[in-house]
Amino acid sequence: MIRSYVADLHVHSVLSPCAAVEMTPRNIVRHAAEYGVNIIAITDHNACDNVTAALEAASDSDVTVLPGMEVETKEEIHLVVLFEKMRQMKEWERFVEAHRSGRLNDEKRFGAQFVVDAGDNLLRVKEEMLLTPLTAGVAEVSAQAAALEGLCIASHVDRPVYSLINQLGFIPPDVILDAVEVSRRVKPQEAARLIPAIGGLPVITASDAHTIDDFIDGPKITLFLEKPSLAEIRQALRNQNQRKVVV
């Protein structure tokens, strides 16, 4: 039976240097449960070390966590990539690690990058700078996501920075996208009219939360699915088999 799920497919944890320390996987999952957010994706910049903790934190709740990452391509474009399983996420992580700059994070300037467990304990501090472009371009990154059966969503295409449409002016035909995301500045229903480069791609919205307040107040979508899985979300984005997205 198809039912509705409230989803936020773009949430940063304490691994992102720009996120608040309150953004532990456990705290995000707790607030998701409290505020009726059924599906969340943990999408830290160029890394996924806190996804396992989020999956574990959600294991005894009704919240579904999707493994994810927000990558920055060579062109300084942000893409949210989501996977069904950790197996694909791990393979994706190897691809990203092979394309990271190798520079070290300047904690004072950018913020610390914390890896934690499901009980909010600090496991380690990630040394490598995550807020930096990969050496792979947007077409290669999107093709790799597709090869691993992930969903690839262009982040905040309405923003003036780190946005596919603002960086390139258009969506190149060799970039494989499942959707574009707009931030709260633009109504998703009006996005294709205001930003014609979106063309016919599905438009979603997400909180892109870096704080718990962002997460609670930020935009979300409603998905009509049989179960909360990536395969079902893919169908919803394509409007297949009565699955759909309501923004």
Residues that bind Zn ion (CB under 5 A): 70, 78, 155, 208
Rank residues 93 and 208 by Cβ distance to Zn ion and give the closer one. 208
Supply the DSSP string of 166-184, one letter for each residue: HHHSS--TT---SEEEE-T
Rank residues 158 and 208 by Cβ distance to Zn ion and give the closer one. 208
Q: Tell the smallest beta-carbon distance from residue 226 to Zn ion (Å).
A: 29
| Parallel, antiparallel or unpaired: strands 122-125 and 114-116 | antiparallel
Q: Tell the smallest beta-carbon distance from residue 65 to Zn ion (Å).
A: 16
- Among 148, 155, 188, smallest CA distance to 76 is for 155
What is the separation of C-alpha 169 from the centre of its chain, rounded to a whole number of angstroms? 22
- Among 83, 87, 21, 31, smallest CA distance to 61 is for 31
Rank residues 16 and 88 by Cβ distance to Zn ion and give the closer one. 16
Rank residues 201 and 225 by Cβ distance to Zn ion and give the closer one. 201
Q: Tell the smallest beta-carbon distance from residue 243 to Zn ion (Å).
A: 25
Query: For 104, which DSSP code?
Result: B
| CA distance linking residue 131 with residue 58, whole number of Å | 27
Q: Tell the smallest beta-carbon distance from residue 45 to Zn ion (Å).
A: 7
Q: Tell the smallest beta-carbon distance from residue 242 to Zn ion (Å).
A: 31
Residue in the structure block whose two tokens are 């905040």: 156
Rank residues 160 and 173 by Cβ distance to Zn ion and give the closer one. 160
Tokens of 23: 């953004």
Residue whose Cβ sits closest to Zn ion: 78
